[in-house]
Chains A and B, each alone.
Chain A
Amino acid sequence: MNAIRALILSESRLLLRDPISWIAAVVLPAAILLIFGSIFAPHRPDPALGGLRWIDTFAPSLVVIATATLAIQTLPIRLATYREKGILRRLSTTPARPASLLVAQLVIYSATAILGLVLLVVAGKVAFDIPLPANPIGYVAAFGLGLAALLTIGLLVAAVAPSAGVATGIAVPLFFVVMLLGGVYLPRVLLPDVLLTIGEFSPPGVQGLQDAWLGAAPKLLPLGILAAITVVGGAISSRVFRWQ
C-alpha cells in the first residue's frame, strides 16, 4: 500500500510537470464550452432538440475530451514509454510490483478526468445556466463505466504496443475516432445515424452521458456493453501485458 501511495504521489507530480496532457483533460472541455457558447448564440431553444438549446446537448459530449485524452493517449503512451525505457523492468526488481505503477496511473487519470468533468459542469452552469446532471446516480454510473471502458482500451493499447512509437501510432487515430463518435468535433445531432448508433455503444457511451445529464436514466444495454468491455479487456490486457 505504501508503495502504491508513493507511486500515486510521484506519478501525479510527473503529470503536473507535463502540462499538455492535464491541461487538455482538465481545462480544455470547459474552455471549448465557453468559446463555442460565446460564439454561437446558446440561448435559443430548438424544437428539433425537443425544446433544448444546442449547448445543452453539446456539453455532455465535451467530457469525452477529458476521458479520451487521459485514457487513450496519456495512459498507453506513458506506459509504453516506461516499458521502453526499462522503468517497468526496474520496478520489477524491487518489492514494488510494476502492477502497482499501473494501479497508480489508473487512479490518477480517473481523478484527473473527474476534475475535468467538474470544471465542465461548473462552467456550463455558471456561464450558460446548463442544469447540473439531472440524474446524478445515472450520470455517475454512465461516467464511471465509460471511463473504465476507455481506460481498459488504453491498457490494451499499452499491452500490445511494442514501443512508445507504436503506442502513439495506435493511440492518435483511436483518439480521433472516440472524439468523433463522442460528438466533440461535430455535435451529435449532426452526425449520420450509423455513427450515432456506434457512439451509443462504444466507450465512453456518450448517449448515456447525455441522457443522464438531461434527466433520463441511461439505457442498460450500452452500460452493460461498457462493463463487458472493461471486464473482458481487463482480463486480456492482464494476460498479454509485457513488463519488459
Chain B
Amino acid sequence: MTGPPLVTVRNLTKLYPVRRSAFGRPTGALRAVDGVTFDILPGETLALVGESGCGKTTVGRTILRLVEPTAGDVRFDGVDVRALEREALRRMRRQMQLVFQDPHASLDPRMRAGALIREGIEAHRLAEGAAADARVARLLEEVGLRATDAARYPHEFSGGERQRIAIARALAVEPRFVVLDEAVSALDVTVQAHVLALLAELRRARGLTYLFIAHNLAVVERVATRVAVMYLGRIVEIAAAERLYASPRHPYTQALLSAVPVPTPGARTRRILLTGEVPSPTAPPSGCAFHPRCPHPGRDVECTRTVPPLEEVEPAQLAACIKIRRKPSAGNESSHPSPVARP
C-alpha cells in the first residue's frame, strides 16, 4: 500500500438548506458534512463509522458525485471529480461503484439477475452478445452464485444472495474503487460473515480499494485497514484499525467502542455511558461539537469555543480534541502535519 492516494478528500462540506420561514425561504442549514479531510490509499479498506446522521453516507455519495458538495475538493486518481463534465463523469463512474444496504430496494424487481449485471457491461460497451453472457456467468460464479441464476428474479433470492448480485453488478464494470454503504448491515450474522469473506476475497483478487461505511464497529474491525470515526459531520479520529481499536484516543471513539455489547458473559468491565443524544446538525454545538456529551475529565470552557483541529496524537493516529496530551513529536513529520495517517 504505497504510492499516491487513490482518493483525496479535502475540506469537504455539504450543507442542506432548511426551510423554516413562512415563505419557504431557507433560514438555516443542516451541516451534513463539515470540513472533512482524508485520503484513501490504493488497495486499502478505509472504514467510515459513526452513528446515524453523522454524515458518513453523505461523504460516500459526495466522492461519487451522486451528491454535489457545497465546498471542498475530491480527487480520484489525481482527477478533480467536481470539475468533470457529463461524458468524463460517466467514464469516471465506471471506476467508482456503490453497493447499498438494501439490495431489495436497489435491484429492479422486474429485471432478471443476468440483465441487472449486464446493464453496466453494455452501458460502458465492455462486451456484447455472447461475450457479455459469458461475463455475467463468470461474475455470478465469482460472487458464489451459479451461472444459471442469471435467469432468476431478485425476489427468488435470499437477502444474502441479493447482496451478492448487487456486488456482481458493481463489479461488472471493473471498478477500481467501491463504496460499500452499510452493505452487510441488514444481513443475519452467518450470512454477513460469508459476504464479508467474499468482499475480502474480491479485494485481494481484483486489487480493489474500498470505502466501507458502517455503524457496527465489530463488523468494521473484521475488514478495515484504517478507520475514520465521524461525529456531527466531522472526523474526530482516524487511525490504522489495530491502533484505533487497541488505543482509541478521542473521548467519542472511546465511548463508542465501550458501548458495543460484548458477546461474552461477564466480560464487560466498564462502560462509558454518554448522556443525551446526538444534537441536531441544524444547530451543532459551538467549538467541539461533542462537548455537551463529552466525558473527558479535562473538558472546560475552552472546548465550547475552539473547533479542535484533527492532529496527530500518535504516529499515524489523528484525533480532534484539544484535551488529548500529545506525545513529544518524533520530529520529521511535525513540520507539515499530514491530513492523513499513513499506515
Q: Do A and B bind each other?
A: no
